[in-house]
Chains A and B, each alone.
Chain A
Amino acid sequence: MALYAQPPTSYSVPTTAPIEHRFNPYSDNGGTILAIAGKDFSVIAGDTRQSEGYSIQTRYARKVWQLTDKVVLATNGFAADGNNFVKRVKQRLEWYEHAHHKPMGLKSIARMIQTILYGKRFFPYYVYNILGGIEEDGSGAVYSFDPVGSYEREACRAAGAAQSLIQPFLDNQVYFKNQQPAPGSAPFVPGNLPLSTILSLVVDSFTSATERHIEVGDGMEIYVVMNRGRNTDDLLGPGILAESMHVEELGALGEGGGEKTFLVTSPLKRD
């Protein structure tokens, strides 16, 4: 038994080098969000899975938040930061309403989010935000942010774990990248797609991402914000949504300016 005659040197020589322990304040909780603007509505969506590494923490964690009657915010990245960030934004919105007796507008919220994020420039909220809603002129809008507050108004944006899967698809289908209109037909204008098309794009994006990305799945929440007076038949009409999808209208948060927010929920694959 010469093999076992001597223990390996690693057993006998004690490790004397000090082991460094360092607290890591950040984590990545996966998931994906996206938003697409329409002419007089905006669609903001996210999946509901929350994970850490290969473990699923919960199959239902909210990532998309109704802020006002016309603004919805989606957060993605480190969930604890996201939740706290939303809490702070909501608090600021409440203060604003108390001070000015009106809810803050979409573009003002966007600028406020920038200052809040940049305020923590050297210990950032590890969160990618996408803000969607109705602008003061009644148009649908999407604003996207990086963790330190750079932001931009766009027609659509995907963020999170499956951003690299979804964004090029959206470039193609929403911005019509690498497409040409048929000879003689009208030029493509991004941000003018009908609601039914946008809903199918959102559903397709999430089912595709669920298929190929392990951190995406379980369920999705699609918020649809409509400008006041807009017809709701293209959302609530018969045969618009798939059998498995459920839609509810969310009541007005404030006095109600006539804008309507709907929450469409749908299951996603859980594997």
Chain B
Amino acid sequence: MELNGGSVVAMIGKDCVAIASDLRLGNQSVGVASNFEKVFPVNDKLYYGIPGLASDVYTLREHLRFRVNMYRMKEEREITPKTFTHLVSSTLYEKRFGPFFVEPVVAGIPSPTPLDPHPRPFISTMDTIGCITTPKDFAVAGTAADKLYGVAEGLWEPDLEPEDLFETISQTLLNAVDRDALSGWGVVVHLITADKVVTRTLRARMD
């Protein structure tokens, strides 16, 4: 985790979720790249972020892309956030005694179904071996996790409208990574609502 650095945060709002990551890839204290996104789309209502060892970030991302594509072809439908969380979890637990050094965060809005016509926005997070937690407010991970907890706990409130949620998650991540030497070098935010996803790259401190 401390080898490459990086942080991810996800938050729930009113009928929306947001997930954001920093852009730094480092080699201990040396910054190598400032374009290393740690949040990836699964479909247009579901994103996930994986901070941690960059090699495993890439390996896991490609592995999950394969698994989700297989799911999509076999089931002929999109994977739900909850199912995807369990897919990630079991993928991680497969490597119980030689884990991937990542802490995934999942954020998405489930599609309405006849059984659940008004699904609630969903976020979840896991440890390195896939133990799931599904918070009602926000999820944080990465080298700035403790800072993110502090700022998010202070700024977040229930039922934020999309634009307010965007401001909250942006300020949370920006201020947390500014106090973390291993995170930062730019920030990208994805705001997911039922009908669209807005992705913004923010101007940030580059030190």
B153 pairs with A177, CB closer than 8 A: no
In the complex, A35 has a CB within 8 A of chain B: no
Take A169-B154, A204-B154, A205-B154 as given contacts and tell me if A212 and B149 are in contact as well, using a CB distance cutoff of 8 Å: yes
Known: A164-B147, A165-B146. A178 touches B153 (CB 8 A): no
Residue numbers in B under 8 Å from A178 (CB-CB): 170-171, 174-175, 178, 204
**A166 on the interface (CB 8 Å rule)?**
yes
Interface residues of A in 151-189 (CB under 8 A from B): 162, 164-169, 171-173, 177-179
A211–B178 touching, CB < 8 Å: no
Shortest beta-carbon distance, B168 to chain A, in Å?
11
A177 to B174, CA, bound (A): 9
Q: Chain B interface secondary structure, helix, strand, loop or mixed?
A: helix
Q: Are A168 and B147 in contact (CB under 8 A)?
A: yes
Across the interface, A168 reaches (CB within 8 A) one of B170, B179, B204, namely B179
Judge whether B175 and A165 touch: CB under 8 Å.
no
Q: Can you name the residue of chain B whose Cβ is closest to the Cβ of A173?
A: B154
Summed over the interface, the residue pairs from A and B with CB atoms below 8 Å come to a total of 56
Interface flags for B121-151 (1: CB within 8 Å of A; 0: not) read 0000000000000000000000000110111
Is B176 in contact with chain A by the CB < 8 A criterion?
A: yes
The majority secondary structure among interface residues of chain A is: helix
Instruction: Report the bound CA distance from A209 to B151 in whole Å.
Output: 10
Number of A interface residues, CB 8 Å? 19
Contact with B along A200-242 (1 / 0, CB 8 A): 0000110011011000000000000000000000000000000
* Chain A: minimal CB distance from B163 (Å): 15
Contact in complex: B178, A168 (CB < 8 Å): yes
A167 to B175, CA, bound (A): 9
Residues of B near A177 (CB, < 8 A) are 174-175, 178
Q: A171-B179, A205-B154 are in contact. Are A164 and B146 (CB under 8 A)?
A: yes
The CA-CA distance from A205 to B171 in the complex, in Å, is 16
The one of A171, A204, A211, A212 that contacts B175, using a Cβ cutoff of 8 Å: A171
CB pair A162 B150 closer than 8 Å:
yes
Assembly CA distance A209 to B154 (angstroms): 9
Looking at the assembled complex, report how far the CB atom of A121 sits from the nearest CB atom of chain B, in whole angstroms: 26
Closest to B173 in A: A178
Rounded to whole angstroms, the CA-CA distance of A164 and B150 in the bound complex is 7
16 of the cross-chain contacts (CB-CB < 8 Å) are A164-B146, A164-B147, A164-B150, A164-B179, A168-B147, A168-B178, A171-B175, A171-B179, A173-B154, A178-B174, A205-B154, A208-B150, A208-B153, A209-B150, A209-B153, A212-B150
Residues of A within 8 A of B (CB): 162, 164-169, 171-173, 177-179, 204-205, 208-209, 211-212
Known contacts A165-B147, A165-B149, A177-B178; 9 additional CB pairs below 8 A are A164-B147, A168-B175, A169-B151, A169-B175, A171-B175, A171-B179, A178-B175, A178-B204, A209-B153
